[in-house]
Structures are given as structure tokens and as C-alpha cells.
Amino acid sequence: MNESKQIDSAKRGAAKLVLVVVGMFGFGFALVPLYDIICDVTGLNGKTSGKYVSEQTLQIDEERSVTIQFLANNNANMPWEFRPVSRSLEVTPGKLNATEFYVKNPAKNSITGQAVPSVTPFRAAQYLHKTECFCFEQQILASGESMQMPLRFIIDSDLPKDITKLTLSYTLYDITEQISGDLAAD
Amino acid sequence: MSAVIEEHHHDDHHHGPAKGIMRWVFTTNHKDIGTLYLWFSFAMFLLGGSFALVIRAELFQPGLQIVEPEFFNQMTTMHGLIMVFGAVMPAFVGLANWLVPMMIGAPDMALPRMNNYSFWILPFAFTMLASTLLMEGGGPNFGWTFYAPLSTEQGPPSTTFFIFAVHLMGISSIMGSINVIVTILNLRAPGLTLMQMPLFVWTWLITAFLLIAVMPVLAGVVTMMLMDIHFGTAFFNAGGGGDPVLFQHVFWFFGHPEVYIMILPAFGVVSAIIPTFARKRLFGYASMVYATSSIAFLSFIVWAHHMFTVGMPLAGELYFMYATMLIAIPTGVKVFNWVATMWQGAMTFETPMLFAIAFVILFTIGGLSGLMLAIGPADFQYHDTYFVVAHFHYVLVPGSVFSIMAAVYYWLPKWTGNMYDEALGKLHFWLSFVGINVLFFPQHFVGLAGMPRRVPDYNLQFADYNMVSSVGAFLFGFSQLLFLFIVIKCVRGGVKATDQVWEGAHGLEWTIASPAPYHTFTTPPDLKDISEAHG
Ligand code: HEM
Ligand SMILES: [Cu+2]
């Protein structure tokens, strides 16, 4: 009968819509890598990329000098002392520079820390190449322990001419619990 | 709307409803389910409203008087969640259940069993959500937008229950929307083309597509939260390689279409009511359909206007600013069409029409403050102030909520067979109208002057406007008890309604008896009245 035919096609329609629902649920999760890719490509959010390996020798621009300032922040509940050894550097684009950050764990227990970098202005992020950074790995400090953490970087000489000063800021997170959670899950 | 319908029925109908409470538990009848949704929504409206009155009582004077800041935060959060997901959305689903089959000449919704499930999930979801208030550590306190990491790292233990409640609501609305779509696409009376459907059906069809596109994204974002909280992932935790700003992108990808989910069916309701009481056809029917579709499309590409201050690059700010302003064009088309419909019409001002006209005026005010917020550089000043609160309450309360009330007054005689008390209805309208403006208009001023939203205490300079606002809140809130009284009175009796009910009403639902029989259009209707279906 006509009516049951309508109901059948309604059921087929509903099945298709369920696929849309499943697809959109997946799309929500797909936004996560998509977002990272977009930030990576455009340097949005001041995210710097991972360890830099140069394919060719970078051009050195002796004429220019750029100021880079360093900031160290603690995320809530992170008890470490954390500060840059030098607050700012005058650097020449294309040349390799080195500096250090100081950390100390004043707490009674051992803590694992992870630093997350961010660059302002955001569009400078993609011109900051780090060849070595403590933010590439996690640090474990026993109670009372301290250390100097290295940072080596090159500012690309393609850095837009109007940028004369940039800020590299690190936020330090206490990830002890997450790490132990991961171990428990493994 | 229950007992009486039952009595009326079984003398002239052998297929009447079952008896007793089990009728409501097992019912697959679209009218029963519509009634359930509407009563549920009204209960949530009162619950969410009482939370709002706690907020306004605390804000009556500067300083902390009545509640602890911690509880205040739970109130703002629960008020938002309950009003959005418990009051406005279920009310529109209830209206869709009652009206869509009657408007397209279908005997019922296409998937009646699923319809029953979609409703009965809701009481469980909201019991779970409300019960978090009694749990250790209290209920959710991070705002209805539940930004991470506030919600994932500093939220109370009950956050997990909040997440499950959101999952359940999501499942319910997804099932509801699938049902609406397949009903409209498959069960229209033979010969009823899409472009002949009443606008309420059109706006709901588009809303349902929005729902199935974005509710899964909401489910995704709360699932990510759940994993961050319990399974050591770091979607939103920068320390673990995630990003809190990502949360805002995913949330608002859902959130902005969500605000249109709450307004498009309202457009449909108003487009049904204004032609009736202006005794003219709706001006620009086709342009209404296209405007609604473009609003729905644009709603997917403007989400970051909620995030102007997170530190987007200039190009992003500009894009989201212009894209947002673009929405004002189709919205303007609609307002123009409603006004043009009233132009030189033979207007009368029964309660539904009063609510509909107030909708047009006050929603437009809300749209204008929206445009002000859409100006990126200006939003740096307005963001997270009471100006934003004023904006979205103007579009949601005299917008969505007024349209729901207008719809109830308009179709109540068809549902119950009785006319409501017109004098009381008008009184309810005027109390609500005055209350709402006294409540929300001053919030524009305190917002522009810099009063932040979601705070239990404020600077002395904001005291006067806040006091006025609180007075309006209590006036509006208590007027809703009058609404409850009017509806109950109408369900229990009153002047008998004619089949057409309103002199100027056109459309299939007005061709059947009042009250609408338990089963309608078991054989497809004769479409002679259809050319006038959309007024
Ligand atoms: C002309 C149309 C509209 C424009 C241009 C517009 C623009 C905006 C903008 C820019 C914001 C963000 C303000 C900020 O946080 O700083 C906002 C917030 C909001 N809008 Fe609209 N809007 C419009 C219509 C609507 C409609 C129709 C609704 C719902 C029915 C709505 C509901 C909301 C809500 C709920 C918020 C606040 C969300 C929150 O942060 O809690 N808007 N609007
Ligand atoms: Cu929006």
C-alpha cells in the first residue's frame, strides 16, 4: 500500500541521516588535527613548529638586528621557579643564537614539567627556528633540584621588515599526573 | 491539555487514546508527544526561571547578600543550560510534533516509536543535570559555554554527569530532527509541493538539518572533555600538547548554528500568525524560504565572532566580522516581509498577534545589538559584558520565547477545542512585555559602561540599573504563572472554538475539527485549501 511505501522510504531516509550524524561526529574530532595543521601552516596562535633542521645554509643579514624578549610563566599549580637567564637578546637574522632558562623545583616531591612556547606577534612564529629547545622534551626534577635548560634558535632573514622586536614566551605545566595516568593506561 | 481531550474523544472516536498514565509512557501519537514536550518545556522554563530569579535577587544590590559566589556560578550555568536545552529547544520540538503532521496532511510522524524515545530521554537527561546541584562539589559552575580548561581542570566532580546529560540531550534532539526531516520529505499529502508548505514546516525542515549537522559536534566536544578528564588525553590541555582555543572553535562551530536553531522555528511561527491577523497573504513567501536557507548556511561560517578577543590574526577578525554582518541581510529581508504583510492589512490585535508584533520589534533590537557586537574592534570593549547578555536575551526571550507563547495562544483553541481567556491573555502579554523591557533594556547601559557578565557582585556605579533590571525580572517571572493559569483554564473549558478558530487562518490544520481529533488525515486530505496554506 501507498502508506507503507512512504514509511519504507522514510526509514531509508532516516538511515542516510544517521550516516550524516556519524560523519559530523567524526568531523568534530577531525577539527583537532585540522586545527593543528592550520596553525602550523599559518603560524596562527603563535605556535612554533618542532625541531628545525636546515636544508640549506640560511642567509645572514648583517645589516639587521632584531630584539627577542624571553618570558617565563607558570601555569596554575606549577610550583617551579622558572625564569630566562637573559631577558632579551639582540640577534642578527640568519645567525645561530643560544640562551638558557633556569628552573628549580622547590616542592617536596618530584615533578614532571612541560614548557609550551608561544610567539608574538603571531606572524613572526614561522620565522623563529629552534634547533634545540627544552620544550621539545619533558623535564623531571626531584625535590630541590635545579637546572639550566638550553635554547638554540635562528631568526629567519625572511622575517617581515616591519618586525623589529618579538617575544618568545613559555608557559610551564605540571604534567606529573597526566604522565602517571598514561603509564597506568598503558 | 490532557484529561479533557480524552473525554471529548471517546464519544465520537473509537480509536481514542489508551487510559491512565501508561497512555503517556507508551504513546506514539504525535499529538500526545507534542503535548508531553510542551509541558516538559514549561516545567523547565519555570525551573530555569527560578534560577534566573536567584541571580537577579543577588544582583538587586551590590555586595554579596543572598548566595555564595560559588553557588551563583552554578546558577548562571544551570540557568543557561536549562533554558537552551530544556525550555526553548523542547518547546519547538513539541510544536513541530503537534503541527507538522497536521500542516502537511500526514497521519502522524514517520517514525512514531523513535518519537516516543526522543521525548522520554529528556526527563532522564534533565534529572541527571539538575541532580548535580545536590552532589558534592556542586553542579557545573563554568557557564553554559563550559570553556576548557575551566571545565576540564577546575570543574567540580559532577562535570562527568553534566557530560552524560549533554550526550542524552543530543541524542534526543538528533532523533527528533531525523523524524521531522523524514516526515516532511516523505509524508506530505499527495500534490503538496515543497514550495507550498507553510513556513513553519520550512523553517523546521531547515532547523532539523542544522541540528543533525551540529549536535554531533557538540557530542564530540563533550566526549573530548570526558577523555581529557578521565583518560589522560590532552585535547584542551596545553601542557600535554593540546590547545584551549581549540575548545572554543569546536564549541562555537556548534554554538552559533545552535542560536539559529532556537530562532528559525520562531520565524516560522511568526510567519503563520501575522498573515492571519493582518488578513493578508504573507508577503514574499519564496524570499522567506531563501532567506531562511541562507541564514542557515551562513550560520556555519561565522562562529569565531564569539572569539574576537582570543588573539586571531587581523585577516581572521575581518573575515568573521564581515561574514557575520552578511547575516543581517537575509534577516532584514524577513523583518521587511513581516512589516510588509501588516502594511494596509485589516489588523486585529488578539494575544497571538500582540506577541508576534512584539517579536518583530524586540527581535530587531536584539539583531541591532548583534550587529554592534559583530564589529570586531568594538567587541573588544563589549565582549563578556552585560551588553552581550542584553543582546542575546533580546533575541531569545522576546524572540524565541515570545514566539513560543504566541504559538501556544494561536493553536491552543485547535488543541483543546476551547478559546483561552482573551482578557487574561492580553494581560499576560502586557505584563511580559513591560517586564522584559524593564529587565533587559538597562543591561545594555551597564554593559556599555563595562559591567562584566557572570559576576555575583559589582561596582557601585551600576547599582541603579541593576535594581531596575531585577524588578523587571520578578515582574516577568511571576507573570508566567498567569500564563500557566490561562493554559490550564483553557484546557479545562471555555467558549467552544470553531474549526477555523481565527477568521483569517488558512492551512490544513484549520480544516479539521476543534479540538483536533486523536487521529487526523488517516486518509490524505483534499488539497483545495492548499493554495492558501501559507496564508
Ligand atoms: C543579526 C544577527 C546577529 C548578530 C550579528 C549576532 C552577533 C553576535 C556576536 C558578535 C556575539 C558575540 C558577542 C561577544 O561575546 O562578545 C553574539 C553573542 C550571542 N548571540 Fe548573537 N547575533 C545575532 C543574532 C542572534 C540570534 C538570532 C540569537 C539567538 C536566538 C543570538 C544569540 C546569541 C547568544 C546566545 C550569544 C552569547 C553567547 C555567549 O557568549 O554566552 N544571536 N551575537
Ligand atoms: Cu554567534
Write down the pLDDT at residue B35.
97
- Considering Cα of B491, then B496, then B498, then B499, what sign does the dihedral take? positive
Taking Cα atoms as reference points, which of A47, A116, A38 lies closest to residue B149? A116
The CATH architecture one would assign to domain A66-185 is: Sandwich (2.60)
State the total domains in chain B: 1
Please report residues of B whose CB lies closer than 8 A to that of A122: 311, 313
**B370 CA distance to ligand 1 centroid (A)?**
6
CA B239, CA B322: separation in Å to the nearest integer?
A: 34
- Encode pLDDT of B144-197 as tens digits: 999 988 999 889 999 999 999 999 999 999 999 999 999 999 999 988 999 999
Ligand closest to the CA atom of residue B262: 1
Write down the pLDDT at residue B527.
76
Average pLDDT of the residues in B103-118: 94
- pTM for this entry: 0.88
**Grid cell listed for B152:** 576540564
Contact B182 A45 (CB under 8 A): no
CA torsion angle B12 B17 B21 B22 (round to 10) = 150
Average pLDDT of the residues in B184-211: 95
**Grid cell listed for B275:** 498573515
In degrees, rounded to 5, the angle at the alpha carbon of residue B123 between the alpha carbons of residues B120 and B129 is: 140
Residue B5 falls inside a structural domain: no
Return the best residue to mutate from B331, B368, B395 for the ligand 1 pocket (most ligand atoms within 8 A of CB). Answer: B395
pLDDT at B31 over 80: yes
Please report residues of A whose CB lies closer than 8 A to that of B249: 31, 35
Q: What is the CA radius of gyration of chain B?
A: 23
Contact A116 B238 (CB under 8 A): yes
What ipTM score was computed for the predicted complex, to two decimals?
Answer: 0.87
β A146-155/A165-174 pair status: unpaired
Give the largest Cα separation in chain A, rounded. Answer: 86
Taking Cα atoms as reference points, which of B377, B185, B245, B90 lies closest to residue A12? B185
Write down the pLDDT at residue A126.
82
Give the CATH number, domain containing residue B426: 1.20.210.10
Q: Can you spell out the DSSP letters for A62-118?
A: TT--EEEEEEEEE-TT---EEEESSSEEEE-TTSEEEEEEEEE--SSS-EEEEEEEE
pLDDT tens for chain A, 186 residues: list them.
Answer: 467 788 888 899 999 999 999 999 999 999 988 888 887 776 666 666 667 766 666 778 888 899 999 999 998 788 999 999 999 999 999 888 999 999 999 999 999 998 988 888 888 888 888 888 888 888 899 999 999 999 999 998 888 889 899 999 999 988 887 776 554 444
Give the closest-approach CA distance of B317 to chain A in angstroms: 12
- Quick one: angle between helices B199-230 and B244-261, nearest 10? 160
For residues B376 and B321, the answer to whether their CB atoms sit within 8 Å is yes
- Encode pLDDT of B309-359 as tens digits: 998 888 889 999 999 999 999 999 999 999 999 999 999 999 999 999 999
Q: Can you spell out the DSSP letters for A134-145?
A: GGGS-EEE-TT-
Contact B240 A178 (CB under 8 A): yes
Least confident of B6-15, B47-56, B305-314: B6-15
Write down the pLDDT at residue B209.
97
Q: Please list, in sequence order, all residues whose beta carbon lies within 8 angstroms of the beta carbon of residue B322, skipping any fewer than 6 positions away.
A: none
Please report which confidence band the pLDDT of residue B525 belongs to, taking 50, 70 and 90 as the band edges: confident
For residues B186 and A10, the answer to whether their CB atoms sit within 8 Å is yes
**Boundaries of domain holding B426:** 33-532
Write down the pLDDT at residue A186.
40
pLDDT at B9 over 60: no
- Encode pLDDT of B242-297 as tens digits: 888 999 999 999 999 999 999 999 999 999 999 999 999 999 999 999 999 999 99
